[in-house]
Structure 1
């Protein structure tokens, strides 16, 4: 069982969290950096937990305006050091006003280009920015191996437009909240070989019935992943074991170079 997207570096004691993940049956995860400030923490986790923590390094749109003049050089150096890393989390976000869409484009497009040139997996964050995202992927085509739309909250029509470009779609437990029923309905239209499971921990807390590992301050524990997978299978009227296995195979194929 694999967590396709989380941020273990945000936990004060990630070693303890990893121990609890393993006890819950999770065999690996992709840990996503979001800025130059946390890339070293992601790298340290990958070094400390080889085979379990798979690093991803990206500049998140929320932090586009905080980048240094050497951010791209630093990113490329990390990818040289970790040649099987992913690029992400990166993308576009119009839910926020600042940084501007133009600033976000300035950091997103080079990351898409880098993923394509190195044929690395790409993990994309998109929120209220579907038009700009499609425009960006026309300017800079994504890598042929595909890319992940993490915590995908778009429409069925967007699924149809993104599939030919190589998109995969990951489901996070937050979408089990009753107010997100439309998202659950949308995931019925994701092809089985394009579906992944993620926690986005410590964010995107699922509803209480899908929380097996409660944390204080409404933080999401990545060991909630099995319960999230079982809940999704129930909503999709699928066998939980088969769905979780399929999602893990998809994660292996896209993100882990198998």
Structure 2
């Protein structure tokens, strides 16, 4: 048995609820287990996917963990209505009746009080009531279009407020929008519970800027393994304590699986490349990234 299988590693970002896995979802999960993947975190991207990731967490308890949020590429002119429906699922999972601050100017006193408490203490109080481990996948994406840029900015900030209120960490997607994202996060910097900058592919300056936010880590996936990737050099300057592993399945399959449907089992290829890039053992990468997951998400 490999050291990775003995220690276990965690895929912090995989869209395993998608139709790409309709024919072999259970077998795919078993392949991940066999590869040494001990847990998989499932981001939601829209209203229907919230129910799907929750269903998966029930089908695979203590293995698949759901998030809740509206992906920036799913933001349209009706985003306020969609956010209200998603927030209803979030708040009801905590047995709370409050609404997001932009939709209701008076969030519950309980939420206000909990926001003042320490993160770990709050999770002890409220997290057991909810299946959700994070607010995600949320963020900004101006890569293809800025048609709904204002809506994206407003939707992202609203969901950042959810994170502050519930103390659930953020799973952040950002493409061609780091300045705008950082500007929003700075407003709440002292209140944020932490989170992951998902699918980080930036340069040294961008990494340094993001890691100024306490409690945040970089999500590293298949791009690290690509032949022309600059990430090995960038990550050499990033503490291993600020990195978590991910696949972003079914997308971004790592070498040697590039071009195929990605799945959680392939996170081990990312782990191995990271160990090689940093000059440390695979076991050390597995142990430290697992520790980082525990610190950010409160899950061991």
TM-score (structure 1 length as normaliser): 0.90
Q: Which has the higher strand share?
A: 1
Does 2:68 match 1:57? yes
- Give me the whole-angstrom Cα distance separating, in 2, the residues matched to 1:49 and 1:77: 24
Q: Which has more radius of gyration?
A: 2
Does 2:278 match 1:236? yes
- Give me the whole-angstrom Cα distance separating, in 2, the residues matched to 1:142 and 1:58: 22
- Rate the CA distance shift 1:14–1:67 in 2: closer, same or farther, 3 A: farther
* Candidates 4, 16, 25, aligned match of 2:12: 4
- Structure 2: which 5+ residue stretches go unaligned? 1-8, 94-129
- Give me the whole-angstrom Cα distance separating, in 2, the residues matched to 1:130 and 1:204: 21
Matches within 5 A, 1:25-44: 25-44=36-55
Please name the residue that 1:74 is paired with.
85
Please name the residue that 2:297 is paired with.
255
Tell me which moved more, 126-135 or 92-101.
92-101
- Give me the whole-angstrom Cα distance separating, in 2, the residues matched to 1:39 and 1:2: 21
Please name the residue that 2:267 is paired with.
225
- Give me the whole-angstrom Cα distance separating, in 2, the residues matched to 1:143 and 1:71: 25
TM-score (structure 2 length as normaliser): 0.78
Deviation track 1:71-115 (CA, whole Å, cap 9, x = no partner) reads: 223322333422542110111112121543212112111100100
1:48 deviates by: 1.2
1:142 deviates by: 7.3
1:158 deviates by: 2.0
- Rate the CA distance shift 1:248–1:18 in 2: closer, same or farther, 3 A: same
1:141 deviates by: 3.7
- Rate the CA distance shift 1:67–1:4 in 2: closer, same or farther, 3 A: farther
Please name the residue that 2:149 is paired with.
101
| RMSD, matched Cα | 2.0
1:139 deviates by: 3.5
Aligned with 1:126: secondary structure? Answer: strand
Count matched residues: 251
**1:7–1:201 contact (8 Å) kept in structure 2:** yes
* Candidates 196, 212, 215, aligned match of 1:148: 196
Please name the residue that 1:157 is paired with.
205
- Give me the whole-angstrom Cα distance separating, in 2, the residues matched to 1:73 and 1:48: 27
- Rate the CA distance shift 1:141–1:55 in 2: closer, same or farther, 3 A: same
- Give me the whole-angstrom Cα distance separating, in 1, the residues matched to 2:226 and 2:36: 24
**1:115–1:142 contact (8 Å) kept in structure 2:** no
- Give me the whole-angstrom Cα distance separating, in 2, the residues matched to 1:98 and 1:164: 27
Please name the residue that 1:170 is paired with.
219
- Give me the whole-angstrom Cα distance separating, in 1, the residues matched to 2:291 and 2:269: 18
1:221 deviates by: 1.7
Does 2:125 match 1:114? no
**2:293–2:299 contact (8 Å) kept in structure 1:** no
